[in-house]
Amino acid sequence: MAEINHRCAVLGRPIAHSLSPVLHNAAYRALHLDDWFYDRHEVGEDDLERFLKGLDPTWAGLSLTMPLKKTIQPYGLPCDRWSKELMVANTAVFDWKGACRNGDESLPAIRLYNTDVRGIELAFEHSYDARGSRPVSDHSCDAVIIGNGNTATSALAACVGMPAVGHVTVIAR
């Protein structure tokens, strides 16, 4: 096995169920990125700062899930429309040479992105393509979002941008 020079992971609590390591490591192998490795770490809101401060320059980035998509915000700079507008990020990319380190030299510069909104849009586009159909564009369709967490926020943003969707119902406890 090659020496690991680029590390990434998904963080969250709970995280044991995540298939992200399987998917990412398979992609790394397919792309011949033999010195890349993707793992999972059980990290909650109170653990995030300690985890970040324990990283070294082999770390390239993180995927973030519940409950960290908002918790990561003070540590990084939102770099795309959705991480800025929603203040929800599921991806953190590290720049160990960057100047914007939030005043803390123990942390890399962290660029934040929300790939959930576009991912949801692409899932719907793929579904239409797979069925050989086109979405209507008259806002006549209804959407239902189950949950009210950070991914639900991204799902709502995706629905608002879909020309077929005219009404969204959010079901939450």
Active site residues: 69
Burial class (CB in 10 A: 0-12, 13-18, 19+), 80: middle
Q: Evaluate the CA torsion angle 173, 78, 20, 154 in order and state its sign.
A: positive
22 phi-psi bin (left φ>0, alpha ψ -120 to 50, beta other): alpha
Cα gap 26→135, rounded to integer Å: 33
Q: In 10 A of CB 141, how many CB atoms? A: 15
